[in-house]
Each structure stands twice: as structure tokens, then as C-alpha cells.
A = this chain, B = another copy of it.
């Protein structure tokens, strides 16, 4: 069963295919009656425009490549949800690729996108990625790129992210205002900018409130529940004095809560805890975990909007790359002694 084309419609109606094409595109110089006839025949024959052909001719595919580390993490799937929604409203489709946190897959994804002639790429960097030639080359070749969350200034493209520095500052400040004097920060040894920014915010907040920055209170490890548990155990084993914990993300914060409970250290009385990311479980655990929300869906929507705005301006890279920095939202729950 072959697909019907404008030629089929033309033949049925005894007109030329170019008249059909114009009728379907609502060309002003086509008689209303033939437009109607053409459309009826199109429906009758189950006609579907072949976008491959029209894209080939027009040079516009209406497709945007979305390249993310994985969809199996709620942060990314939520952002992609936002991107797709806005793109869809604007008549664009999404070609999806997961980098699996690998540099090589990222390169493959870009290759695939270019071959498919996407009109641009929206992406968030893989953890493994530490050189950025593949993205810089896209920019040099004039291909629209927008990065969200995991970005790098070196690349020089528009980006949308939250203010991780501010988030780190807010989380720490909150603990200070709750009365904490010796606040631990658990971070990661991975070379990822956003985590460094949260650490920077932590330090700045301490300085601002005249509290010492004590390296013995800063831990580095791999994102996991276990990391949080180990840090608490280590603090206790070494008789380190502490009354607040700011974990760089919620899973680590969860580990912190678990171990504190196990050791019968009361939360939030003896120790106050805050995480980062506002994962789905945080509101439902005991005690509910205070955290910092990253506005994931909005991040996706804003990414799509900025991308489309620049695309439609016709000069995507003409000016200094625009940045949208979203405000992190402090979510106060019982673990930090808030209004729970």
C-alpha cells in the first residue's frame, strides 16, 4: 500500500500537482472551489504530507535534538517534559538521545542530529565530558545550541540553569538562621560545575555570618545514599562536633537522616539537615527532608522558549550568549526544624 502523494490527488482531479501543492498550502492565487476539492480528495485518499520531501526542499525540518544524560533520573525527564511541551505548542518535534553520561555517546548523538538536519540542539552535559570541542564546533558551524543545568561557560552558547551558588547559600543560611553553628557540607569529587557552585555558596554563607570555614566539616564522595551514611559515621567516630548538615543532593541527605536515626541522634533537635534537588521522596520520609527545588519543568520550558526566541530572531549567535538563571526555591520541612 503506497502512500498517496500530491500527484495522486492531481490525477484524480485532472489538475497539475503544483496546483495541488498550492491549494494545500492555502496559496492566495488558488480558487476557493479547487482548494475545497483538493482538500476533500486529500482526506478521501488519506493523504499525509511527506515532511522529508518538504524539509529537503525548504531546508527546515521543524525538529530539535534533545540530548540528555538519561531519562531514568527524574530531574532530566522532568526538564524534557517541559521542553517537549513548549516545542510541541510551537509546532516543533523532538528527536531524543541519551548520552548515558558518556562523552563518546554525546558525540554520536550530535552526529545523528546533524545528519537528521535538526534545527538546533538542546542538551545537558554528560558527567564524563570535560572537553567541549564537539559543542564548540557546533557553535562555529552556526548550529543553534542551548545548554541547561550542566553547562560550561567555555562553550559560549545560551544556557538556562538555576543559581546553584545561591541555592547553596540559601540552604546554608537557612541552617544558620535555625541556630546551627557547625555546619557540615557533603559534596562530590566529580568535576561538575554546579556542585562546586553549591560548595561556594556554602562557604560564602558561613563567611557572611562570621562562621569559620572548617575543612574538617567538608566531605567529598560519590552521589549516593551510602555517602551520607558514611559521613555521619565518620563524624561521630572522630568525635567531631556538628549541628547541621547540608548535603549537595537529596539522596545523600537521605543517607544522612538514616544514619542519624540509627545512632539515635534526634532530628532536628540535635542536628538539622537539608538536601538539594527536591526529589519526589523528600516530602514523604521521616522526618520530611528540607531541600532546594530546582524548578525542573520551568527549566525545560524556559530552555525551549529562549531557544525558539533566538532561532526566530534569525541570528542565533549574533550577540553575547544569553543566560537565564532561575531562582532556587527553599523548601523547608521538618528535618531542619522548619514549619513542618
Given known contacts A1-B141, A49-B115, A72-B78, A95 and B93 CB-to-CB distance under 8 angstroms: yes
How many angstroms between the C-alpha atoms of A1 and B56 in the bound complex?
17
User: Would you call A116 and B98 a contact (CB within 8 A)?
Assistant: no
How many angstroms between the C-alpha atoms of A286 and B93 in the bound complex?
42
Majority SS of interface residues in chain A? mixed
Question: Does A70 sit within 8 A of B, measured CB to CB?
Answer: yes
Copy total for this chain: 2
Given known contacts A55-B52, A56-B53, A115-B49, A71 and B61 CB-to-CB distance under 8 angstroms: no
User: Would you call B117 and A93 a contact (CB within 8 A)?
Assistant: no
Given known contacts A52-B55, A78-B72, A93 and B97 CB-to-CB distance under 8 angstroms: yes
Within 8 A of B (CB), among A28-68: 46, 48-53, 55-56, 61, 63, 66
User: Would you call A116 and B93 a contact (CB within 8 A)?
Assistant: yes
Q: Which residues of B contact A93 (CB under 8 A)?
A: 95-97, 112, 116
Q: Which residues of B contact A84 (CB under 8 A)?
A: 71, 96-98
How many angstroms between the C-alpha atoms of A280 and B61 in the bound complex?
38
Closest to A112 in B: B93
CB distance from A94 to the nearest CB of B (A): 4
CB distance from A252 to the nearest CB of B (A): 13
Closest to A77 in B: B77
How many angstroms between the C-alpha atoms of A98 and B86 in the bound complex?
11
How many angstroms between the C-alpha atoms of A71 and B50 in the bound complex?
28
User: Would you call B74 and A81 a contact (CB within 8 A)?
Assistant: no
CB distance from A21 to the nearest CB of B (A): 15
Closest to A1 in B: B142
How many angstroms between the C-alpha atoms of A117 and B50 in the bound complex?
7
Q: Which residues of B contact A114 (CB under 8 A)?
A: 48
User: Would you call B95 and A95 a contact (CB within 8 A)?
Assistant: yes
How many angstroms between the C-alpha atoms of A66 and B93 in the bound complex?
11
The 10 closest A-B pairs by CB, nearest first: A77-B77, A281-B281, A286-B286, A71-B81, A72-B81, A94-B96, A52-B56, A51-B115, A48-B114, A71-B77
